[in-house]
Amino acid sequence: MKVAIIGVTGYSGVELIRILLQHPKVEIVSIHSHSQNGQGIDDYLPHLKQLLSLPLEPIDPVKIMAQTELVFFATPSGISKEIATAFVEADFPVIDLSGDFRLKADGQYEKWYKNSSAPPDFLQTAHYGLADFYRKPTSKLIANPGCYATGTLVSLAPLVQKKIIEPTSIIVDAKSGLSGAGKNLSESSHFVNSNENMTLYKMNSHQHIPEIMQQLQKWNAEVPAIQFSTSLIPVTRGIFITSYARSSQKMTQEDVWHLYQDFYQEKYFVRIQEQESYPNLRQIIGSNFCDIGVAYNEVTNIITVVTVLDNLVKGAAGQAVQNLNHLAGWDEKTGLEMIPIYP
């Protein structure tokens, strides 16, 4: 399958290149960027020398549709809602890694992204591609979930779907490496500010909250809200989420573990740790895995779920390729069996 990537110079775009170059059924035919037109990608990104030498082309939907069979948008929020319309109207397959097509309810995008939304019917049509849960996309326009949203939803799904927790008790303490903050320069991603530091940067205000709530409420309408904060830790890649919720009935450590083990039995990319064992961040870096460990406090009835994923793979480019595999009808593992980089 011939594909194009728009927005190829951001971290998700670069990771998409890494994954697709090793995908047995895909060929990257063209790459596109607003900002660096004409230059070879390997001039801009020297790690790609001898591996990919396509030029950064301007974005011409007609030409892209003529030459390829699917387009990825790895652009920042606010771009694909404008540019993807030409593709969507032509019923051309689009996988969008940004937040532009994720939120269905009226006014939500405007509220959280401080910007006008994509056309409402596109929002309704778009398939929210939580790839381990939805293997048959309902639309050729796939909204790839956010990195925090992916980890949080995978972390909470068994508790919320099985309705075993108090609906107002969910607390999500999420930590991310700096690649999650993107390649744009900012105070918080300046080395001297983030090295040897940890900073809480969004208290109940991260833009992934509405897509998390939209999905949680689809699973269980009784959950009214979650406590959700995000911190930066001094690593390049990786998200480490500690989720807490209070069981509404007495359970045991073993009950909780079996719940997760059974729930994720058939989902290849979610690996449940052994009992009383918790994943570390490094064990999934570079791969499409999301690893989980669980605990239960028998006095307070608090369930703790520790979840790790690579924000650029499972939280972005990897899940996008998993959605591509679903859309194309290939095995979902195709091109995604990368071994984690360890050490």
**Interaction with a second copy in 71-130: which residues (CB under 8 A)?**
none
**Interaction with a second copy in 157-186: which residues (CB under 8 A)?**
168-171, 173, 175, 178-179, 181, 183, 185-186
> E strands of 93-170, at which residues?
94-96, 127-128, 141-143
C-alpha span between 148 and 212 (Å, rounded): 9
- What tokens appear for 33 in the block? 């960027």
Stretch of 27-35, 117-125, 129-137, 271-279 lying at the interface with a second copy (CB under 8 A): 271-279
Nearer to a second copy, 48 or 84 (CB): 48
Q: Note whether 200 binds a second copy by CB under 8 A.
A: yes
Q: Note whether 189 binds a second copy by CB under 8 A.
A: yes
Q: Note whether 249 binds a second copy by CB under 8 A.
A: no
Are 140 and 323 in contact by the 8 Å Cβ rule? The answer is no
Closest by CA to 290, choosing from 122, 153, 176, is: 153
- Kindly state the smallest distance separating residue 80's Cβ from a second copy, in Å: 22
Helices 209-219, 147-161: inter-axial angle, 10-degree rounding: 20
C-alpha span between 96 and 25 (Å, rounded): 20
Candidates 123, 235, 317, 327: give the one binding a second copy (CB under 8 A): 235
Residue 112, classed as helix, strand or coil, is helix
**Interaction with a second copy in 318-337: which residues (CB under 8 A)?**
337
Nearer to a second copy, 97 or 281 (CB): 281
Stretch of 53-61, 62-70, 146-154, 234-242 lying at the interface with a second copy (CB under 8 A): 234-242
Residue 89's Cβ-count burial label (10 Å; 0-12, 13-18, 19+) is exposed
- Kindly state the smallest distance separating residue 10's Cβ from a second copy, in Å: 10
- Kindly state the smallest distance separating residue 44's Cβ from a second copy, in Å: 12
Are 308 and 240 in contact by the 8 Å Cβ rule? The answer is yes
Residue 243's Cβ-count burial label (10 Å; 0-12, 13-18, 19+) is buried
**Interaction with a second copy in 30-59: which residues (CB under 8 A)?**
45-51
Sequence-ordered list of residues with C-beta below 8 angstroms from that of 232, at least 6 positions apart, any chain: 175, 176, 177, 178, 180, 181, 188, 194, 197, 198, 199, 201
Annotated catalytic residue 290: no
Candidates 138, 190, 254, 331: give the one binding a second copy (CB under 8 A): 190
In the set 147, 156, 303, 313, the catalytic residue is 147
Reported residue count of the chain is 343
Stretch of 9-17, 66-74, 86-94, 314-322 lying at the interface with a second copy (CB under 8 A): 9-17
Nearer to a second copy, 45 or 86 (CB): 45
**Interaction with a second copy in 302-321: which residues (CB under 8 A)?**
302, 304, 306, 308, 312
Q: List residues with catalytic annotation.
A: 147
